Structure 1
Amino acid sequence: MALIKSIKGLTPKWGRECYFSENATIVGEVTMGDECSVWFNAVVRGDVAPITMGNAVNVQDGACIHVTNTTGPTVIGNNVSIGHNATVHACTIRDGALVGMGATLLDHCEVGEGAVVAAGALVLQGTKIGAHEIWGGVPAKFIKKTSPGQAESFGAHYVEYSKWYLEEDGNAENGNS
């Protein structure tokens, strides 16, 4: 079972058919929809400001989602993929977006619907990434428009993977909200 921790009276909440790896950590004012997954060594830390995720969000291995008390909240839409070892801090990610492996999103940036943040990219504070755009580099810059469904396709795989683990483990996190 994942480490699910309340702090200052704030307890994580989630919907149906969510999968949390045994060493994932979810703390504080975190709200997730249905079919979300938080994978090995990932941390979702809503201890000082809220983190809200829609349905079918996957937070992959080693990723960290956090805020600080003067910069929150973090808002993540539906069908979003947060890649391995990504850092997402006090920002907004719209439906269907993909945050690549090792990418960093800083305070008050916004990732548009169906957008892709390339692996290793650094999205600076306050940056606005438009819908269906690909951004990459340090600091991240616009590269090109996405192909239809390019970013959105990744999330469906993780809903499927999480179902394998839920069946194998028999430990579905079937909502607590």
Structure 2
Amino acid sequence: MALIRPLNGTSPRLGENCFLAETAVLIGDVTLGDHCSVWYGAVLRGDVNPIRLGNRVNIQDGAVLHTLHRRSVVEIGDDVSVGHNAVVHGARVEHDCLIGMGATLLDNAVVHSGTIIAAGALVLSGQECEPGSVYAGVPARKVKTLTPEEQHRMIHLNAEHYLTYASWYTAGGE
């Protein structure tokens, strides 16, 4: 069973039909929408400010979500995938985004809807990423504008696949 720990009078809140891996950690002021999944070794540490996830969000293995004390929050919209070992530190990610493996989003960064942050990219504090784009590099820069078809294929289908994967685990792996 995942570690779900209240802190300072606030307990993590889960929406309907969420999957939490046995080694996932949720602490304090963390709220998950419906049909979310938090995978092995992921940590959502809402000890100093809130972490809010929309519906159908997947936080993949080893990812860390945290904030700055009284200076930033984590807000993640619907249908977002946060890749393996990514760090979201006090950033806002709107709907239908893909945060690549090992990417880092710093405090008060904003990733607008339909955007991909490439694996290993660094989105700086306060940086805004345009909607429907791909950002890559250190620091992250816009490298491509996505078509609606590419957004569907690369972002939406990824989120859908994680709904399927989570269903395998909640069904007992049969």
Asked if these proteins are the same fold (TM beyond 0.5), I'd say yes
Counterpart in 1 of 2:41? Answer: 41
Give the alignment's TM-score, normalised by structure 2: 0.95
Deviates more, 1:152-161 or 1:114-123: 152-161
Q: CA deviation at 1:114?
A: 1.0
Q: Which structure ranks higher in relative contact order (CA pairs < 8 Å, sequence separation ≥ 6)?
A: 1
Counterpart in 2 of 1:140? Answer: 140
Q: Secondary structure at the match of 2:162?
A: helix
Structural mapping, 1:69-84, within 5 Å:
69-84=69-84
- Partner AA of 1:14 in structure 2: L
Q: CA deviation at 1:85?
A: 0.1
For the 8 Å contact 2:68–2:107, the answer to whether it is kept is no
- Partner AA of 1:152 in structure 2: H
Moved over 6 A (4+): none
Percent identical across equivalent pairs? 45
- Partner AA of 1:167 in structure 2: A
Q: CA deviation at 1:169?
A: 6.3
Q: CA deviation at 1:31?
A: 0.7
- In structure 1, how many angstroms separate the alpha carbons of the residues matched to 2:171 and 2:157? 23
Structure 2, unpaired ranges of 5+: none
Deviation by residue 1:141-173 (Cα, 9 ceiling, x = unmatched): 000112321322211100110010000169xxx
Counterpart in 2 of 1:61? Answer: 61
Q: CA deviation at 1:68?
A: 1.8
Counterpart in 1 of 2:4? Answer: 4
Q: Secondary structure at the match of 1:157?
A: helix
Counterpart in 1 of 2:157? Answer: 153
Counterpart in 2 of 1:174? Answer: none
For the 8 Å contact 2:36–2:56, the answer to whether it is kept is yes
Counterpart in 2 of 1:173? Answer: none
Structure 1, unpaired ranges of 5+: 171-177
Counterpart in 2 of 1:14? Answer: 14
Deviates more, 1:41-50 or 1:160-169: 160-169
Give the alignment's TM-score, normalised by structure 1: 0.93
Query: In structure 2, which of residues 155, 167, 170 is the aligned counterpart of residue 166 of structure 1?
Result: 170
Deviation by residue 1:39-91 (Cα, 9 ceiling, x = unmatched): 00000010110000100000000000001213221100000000000000101
Counterpart in 2 of 1:100? Answer: 100
- Partner AA of 2:171 in structure 1: E
Q: Secondary structure at the match of 2:33?
A: coil
Deviation by residue 1:100-139 (Cα, 9 ceiling, x = unmatched): 0000000010001010000000001111001111000000
CA RMSD of aligned residues (A): 1.2
Q: Secondary structure at the match of 1:75?
A: strand
- In structure 2, how many angstroms separate the alpha carbons of the residues matched to 1:109 and 1:61? 22
